[in-house]
Amino acid sequence: MRNKVLERFYIILKIIESVRYSVGKTFIQKAIYILKEGFGLTLDYEFKLHFFGPYSERISTDIDILENGGLIEVKYDEETGYKISITSKGIKFIEDYSSSIENLKEIQDKITKTLSLSKNKTAREMELLGTTLYFLKLTKDENRLLNLVKMTKPHFQPKEIKKAIEKLKSIN
């Protein structure tokens, strides 16, 4: 039987570990959205459109649980936002529980593919990719898609949005 909670915790920890430096909440939210909606990984998360793109309250709760359990460290800086890093306890969790993850190879492969979409592994890139994917689920018309993303994310240039569309079309 699949343990969804262990799997969710494993995925968050594995994303943080795979990037190899501190990431923020936005980065994690969008990476998991892309895993679910872009790569078709069955995950126990529901998303809605929010300020920085697709957002799941359950991911925020899971991050809080992982922090309270000492598996991750969450720091906040007013200028740069949240910085989340994995602790030695988090690395041990990955080692101890990876054998309990039913579809481990699939998850690891899809995390690698998701992270490879983001050249610099920034929250900004993931925000654009996540939001573009959200609207790509609603329309395949490139002009309409471009307009929807631009309307909700005016700080992105059309050239950046088009590049995100091309990356995401390659996985769908």
Distance CA 71, CA 58 (A): 17
- Dihedral sign, CA of 17, 115, 113, 8? positive
57 and 114 Cβ atoms separated by less than 8 Å: no
Domain limits, the chain: 4-169
Range 4-169 classified under CATH 1.10.10: yes
Q: Can you give the pLDDT at residue 1?
A: 42
pTM for this predicted structure: 0.92
118 and 126 Cβ atoms separated by less than 8 Å: yes
pLDDT tens readout for residues 97-108: 999 898 999 999
Sites in the chain below the pLDDT cut of 50: 1
pLDDT tens readout for residues 52-61: 789 999 999 9
